[in-house]
């Protein structure tokens, strides 16, 4: 009996140690099971030389040791010299490196770039990882470990990578009380109460994971800012995090509440043109840099959704941004000034960022970037690209995506966002003619800007697996990879992530890729097909509520956006409507202005369309809408079927978790379909075509549903 109990305890402990709870994210350095490949790697990496010299090089070497120990089951001792090694990690310039790469090649690596090259040294094949700076070495090491994790050949390597975008940033909407606005993965990972003395291991792992995909900045606090983060009490805590992140090449940024001079500074005004206010911010910047010498700068949300800003004093957004820019400039800090504004004065929320910022083009200081959401409204399942991206040639613009799935099923729906990101990045603004893509705007190449940036609202919390949904991790991964290289394809990113996160088994890679690559179109179809947008429930944005109209401002309500009536549905943004299309270049206007040639993915974004309008499929608009909603549901069911085929090929813990979440997603996709079609049918007065499924309940039932405690509000 005792032996049985001991055996059970051992099995329990073993299972706990080896549980696939998702904490390691994509840095799973488990022993390679392919024996042939394992032996090949071991032969090729028999001796390693890693040059020393800085905290960043130390963490890079530690990561390499950890990776080789886990993947290959070997512990290396640093070779006595580079000539004796099979793998050499060394910065350029160096006498050894100079024999392998030319000065011109080294120059091309710039900052943070790296090269991995196989060469012959004293008759043996040797691999060199080199860069011009320590961060480049760190990124090169992570790239090399990714090759091993994804079972790539390392026999004849010729890799040169330089980041496309300079600032690659996660924006945390985390509050000082640890509540995360629009957060679906638990509380904030920043435990402000215990900092600076208790430094959770998770902070280091957070830095490791971000560095592995090239993320080099983190905004610690919510854009709906709290001025207390700028007080000494909290700056000591921020310093503790900055000290942990620094060796991993990550700078910290803070959100600056515009009214801080009043709230914590004792001034009576926050007018950006008042000398006392300007001096206060300069002294505050000096104080912050005293704690954190490499502090990145400020992210600011001003005069939006009740946040204070320069317009409170009849000043422009440029006046406010430039005041902070002047305070940060002596320290090489930057201001990321958000363009998410929508005053009640415009006739179309779509137009408001352009109306407010376009006239200010060229008026911002050089260390100011305007941070623009990918679309003109608010992180919808599908949006046309924001017209801002083709309208400010004298001002650097940075991208703002949203990883946290506020409008994409929140914490329970499997939605791989990389296809959505790529759709925006590859869109052509025609700012300087054909080929003026959004990607070229934000990487600075279109207008020759020295500073460039891409940010995304984080989907991270203190859940054991960081993101709640296991596949939510893929969106974090995708943000880093696309900010590093926006030419990567969504499918390539998916396959990389799957191989590192689940398995190199071809069946797992193929099936998971199919699920991921169909997931975004699925959610668009069962939520907002054909260009519908912002028809989620008010406030928490959980679930459908196209009928909602109770909030005081029209543009806070779904009925504002779909404009359904007995004649048709959709928002007319052509010359006969709000004329928002005029904010795009003529070539872009031409793509959308004709109801007959407009891409149907965006049809209801730009046109109020008759229910009887003939679509490309030959169906009426009403029938097409019904088929699209059903297609969304069917896609989720296909995702469920494919995932079930992976039983036994994916660890039990994560298999069951995803299986349960997909069941929730299917249930909610049906809810979305039935609720929306029941409501829109009151206007179309048409039957749902055969053989499509019919709503299970009455419209009154769907309208009666209430979720006062939905997360993330």
| Residues taking part in catalysis | 305, 378, 406
**Helix or strand holding residue 549 (H, E):** none
Task: Output phi, psi for 453, to 5 deg.
Answer: -160, 150
Closest CA to 45 of 37, 54, 34, 56: 37
- Three-state DSSP class for 208? helix
Q: Which residues of 98-135 are buried (b: 16+ CB within 10 A; e: fewer)?
A: eebbeeeebeebeebbbbbbbbebeeeebbbbbbbbbb
Cβ neighbours of 79 (radius 10 Å): 17
List the strands of the sheet with 158-161, edge to edge. Answer: 48-50, 87-89, 124-131, 114-121, 158-161
Strand blocks (E) in 431-548: 453-457
Cβ neighbours of 41 (radius 10 Å): 21
- 123's torsion region: left (phi>0), alpha (psi -120 to 50) or beta? left
Closest CA to 489 of 430, 423, 405, 414: 423
CA dist., res. 254 & res. 270, Å (int): 18
Cβ atoms 673, 552 nearer than 8 A: no
Q: Which residues does 696 contact at the CB level (< 8 Å), separation at least 6?
A: 670, 674
Closest CA to 110 of 133, 129, 143: 133
Q: Which residues does 131 contact at the CB level (< 8 Å), separation at least 6?
A: 91, 92, 109, 112, 113, 114, 115, 137, 139, 140
Cβ atoms 262, 268 nearer than 8 A: yes
Would you tell me the crossing angle of helices 506-527 and 652-684 to the nearest 10 degrees? 20
CA dist., res. 15 & res. 322, Å (int): 56
CA dist., res. 662 & res. 640, Å (int): 6
Give the residues across from 402 on adjacent strands: 457
For the chain, what is the radius of gyration of the CA atoms? 27
CA dist., res. 409 & res. 712, Å (int): 12
Closest CA to 657 of 465, 489, 477: 465
User: Helix (H) and strand (E) counts for the chain?
Assistant: 23, 15
Closest CA to 460 of 213, 187, 136, 120: 187
Scanning 30-54, the segments in alpha helix (DSSP H) are 35-44
Closest CA to 281 of 233, 318, 329, 314: 329
């Amino acid at each position: 009996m005792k032996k049985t109990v001991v055996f059970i305890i051992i099995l329990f402990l073993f299972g706990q140690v080896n549980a696939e709870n998702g904490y390691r994210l994509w840095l799973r350095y488990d022993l390679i099971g392919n024996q042939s490949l394992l032996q090949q790697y071991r032969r090729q990496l028999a001796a390693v030389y890693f040059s020393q010299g800085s905290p960043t090089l130390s963490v890079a070497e530690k990561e390499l040791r950890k990776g080789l120990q886990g993947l290959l089951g070997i512990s290396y001792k640093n070779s006595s010299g580079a000539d004796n090694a099979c793998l050499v990690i060394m910065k350029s310039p160096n006498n050894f490196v100079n024999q392998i790469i030319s000065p011109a090649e080294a120059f091309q690596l710039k900052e943070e770039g790296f090269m991995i090259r196989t060469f012959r040294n004293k008759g043996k094949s040797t691999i060199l990882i080199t860069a011009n700076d320590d961060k480049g070495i760190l990124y090169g090491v992570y790239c090399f470990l990714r090759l091993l994790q994804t079972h790539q050949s390392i026999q004849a390597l010729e890799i040169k990578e330089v980041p496309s975008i300079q600032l690659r940033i996660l924006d945390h909407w985390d509050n000082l009380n640890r509540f995360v606005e629009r957060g679906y993965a638990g509380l904030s990972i920043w435990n402000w109460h215990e900092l600076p003395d208790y430094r959770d291991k998770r902070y280091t792992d957070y830095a490791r994971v971000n560095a592995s995909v090239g993320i080099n900045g983190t905004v610690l606090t919510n854009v709906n800012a709290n001025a207390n983060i700028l007080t000494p009490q909290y700056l000591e805590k921020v310093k503790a995090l900055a000290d942990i992140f620094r060796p991993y090449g990550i700078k910290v940024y803070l959100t600056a509440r515009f009214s801080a001079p009043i709230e914590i500074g004792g001034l009576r005004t926050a007018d950006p043109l008042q000398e006392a206010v300007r001096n206060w911010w300069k002294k505050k910047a000096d104080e912050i840099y005293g704690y954190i010498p490499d502090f990145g700068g400020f992210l600011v949300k001003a005069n939006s959704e009740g946040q204070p800003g320069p317009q409170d004093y009849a000043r422009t957004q440029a006046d406010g941004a430039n005041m902070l820019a002047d305070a940060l400039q002596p320290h090489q800090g930057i201001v990321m000034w958000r363009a998410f504004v929508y005053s009640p004065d415009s006739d179309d929320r779509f137009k408001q960022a352009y109306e407010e910022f376009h006239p200010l083009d060229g008026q911002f200081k050089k260390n100011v970037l305007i941070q623009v959401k990918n679309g003109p409204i608010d992180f919808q399942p599908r949006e046309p690209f924001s017209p801002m991206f083709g309208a400010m040639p004298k001002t650097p613009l940075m991208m703002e995506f949203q990883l946290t799935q506020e409008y994409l099923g929140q914490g329970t729906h499997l939605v791989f966002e990389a296809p959505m990101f790529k759709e925006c990045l590859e869109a052509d603004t025609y700012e300087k003619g054909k080929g003026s893509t959004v990607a070229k705007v934000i990487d600075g190449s279109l207008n020759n800007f020295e500073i460039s940036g891409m940010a995304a609202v984080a989907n991270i919390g203190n859940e054991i697996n960081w993101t709640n949904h296991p596949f939510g991790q893929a969106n974090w991964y995708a943000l880093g990879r696309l900010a590093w290289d926006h030419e990567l394809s969504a499918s390539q990113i998916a396959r990389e992530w799957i191989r590192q996160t689940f398995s190199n088994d071809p069946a797992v890679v193929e099936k998971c890729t199919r699920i991921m690559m169909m997931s975004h179109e699925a959610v668009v179809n069962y939520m907002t097909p054909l260009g519908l947008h912002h028809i989620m429930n008010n406030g928490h944005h959980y679930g459908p509520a196209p009928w909602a109209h109770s909030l005081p401002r029209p543009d806070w309500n779904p009925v504002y956006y779909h404009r359904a009536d007995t004649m048709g549905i959709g928002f007319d943004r052509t010359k006969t409507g709000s004329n928002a299309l005029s904010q795009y270049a003529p070539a872009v206007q031409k793509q959308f202005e004709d109801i007959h040639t407009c891409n149907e993915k965006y049809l209801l974004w730009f046109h109020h369309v008759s229910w009887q309008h003939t679509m490309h499929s030959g169906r009426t608009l009403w029938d097409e809408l019904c088929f699209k909603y059903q297609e969304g549901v069917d896609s989720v069911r296909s995702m469920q079927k494919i995932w079930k085929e992976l039983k036994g090929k994916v660890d039990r813990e994560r298999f069951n978790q995803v299986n349960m979440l997909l069941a929730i997603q299917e249930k909610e996709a049906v809810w979305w379909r039935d609720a929306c079609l029941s409501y829109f049918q009151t206007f179309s007065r048409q039957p749902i075509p055969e053989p499509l499924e019919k709503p299970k309940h009455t419209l009154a039932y769907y309208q009666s549903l209430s979720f006062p405690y939905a997360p993330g509000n």
